Amino acid sequence: MIEPLLPERDPRRGGRPLKFPRRLIVDTVLYVLVSGCAWRLVPHDLAPWDAAYRWFRAWTADGTWDRVHDALRDRVRVADGRDPQPSAAVLDSQSARSHQGGQAIGYDAGKRVRGRKRHLLVDTCGLVLRAVVHSASVQDRAGAKLVLAGVRELFPQVGLVWVDGGYVNVIDAGLVGWAAEHEGLEIVAVPRNADVKGFQVLPRRWVVERTFSWLGRCRRLARDYERKTAHAEAMIKVAMIRLMAARLAGEEIEPHGPIETEAARRLADDLMNE
């Protein structure tokens, strides 16, 4: 399913034949992603760590992960009876701790986290449309502009984006005007009920929260271990590739815990009501 989407080796360019099958390379990258181990601790029955990392880095640089991810996302939407082009999206961010040095390391004073922020724009199924990793010190409204800039060129039918109250408030509502003027997007905030304490499932916003939960199944994404933001974004795409490939292959993934169970129930209700 994934192999036909990977770039083919051109024999006219010369060079020796590939020593390790690409399936083995992908399996090694997935092992690092799911187990959370360091590259140098990859088991010997997989590809050598340096070869796997070299291919991971090369496929990140030439956009291979992005192309595979986008192709599988379109297939999943078609399999669910939806148009490949979404018309609405949900936006949210997650601050991830980073114990390594590297690019764009900052401090989120609100959540007291040193590291980076993962800003995700997902469709109403929870599939990632765009992922941007930036410094944790960047405010959500500024980070949202990084995600939404040029999104209509990639997804021309998207006209509505749901966000939480942190993106739109009485002090700074500039994101709403900027999105409408520059990107032609309508930003709608989903308010939180102040009378409810603790965890609260919010309409529409629970979709992106479930996506963060999906990513949390991969231990490599429990924290931010990458030194480059491009590699951090690529790991998010690889995690979604793993999930979508399993879904297209017909593998059933049972929900774990009350949050995923409630999210699965709400998704089933939404599909029945459409």
Q: Give the H or E element holding residue 64.
A: helix 64-79
Distances, alpha carbon 263 to alpha carbons 110, 209, 270, in Å: 27, 9, 11
Lowest mean pLDDT among 24-38, 144-158, 162-176: 162-176
pLDDT band (50, 70, 90) for residue 226: very high
Q: Give the H or E element holding residue 115.
A: strand 113-122
CATH code for the domain defined by 3-249+256-273: 3.30.420.10
pLDDT at 204 over 80: no
Domain ranges of the chain: 3-249+256-273
Averaged pLDDT, 221-250: 93
How many angstroms separate the CA atoms of 209 and 201, rounded? Answer: 9
Reported as a single tens digit per residue, the pLDDT across 122-147 is: 999 999 999 999 999 998 889 999 99
How many angstroms separate the CA atoms of 229 and 35, rounded? Answer: 20
pLDDT band (50, 70, 90) for residue 7: confident
Say what the pTM is.
Answer: 0.86
Point out which residues pair with 130 in neighbouring strands. Answer: 121
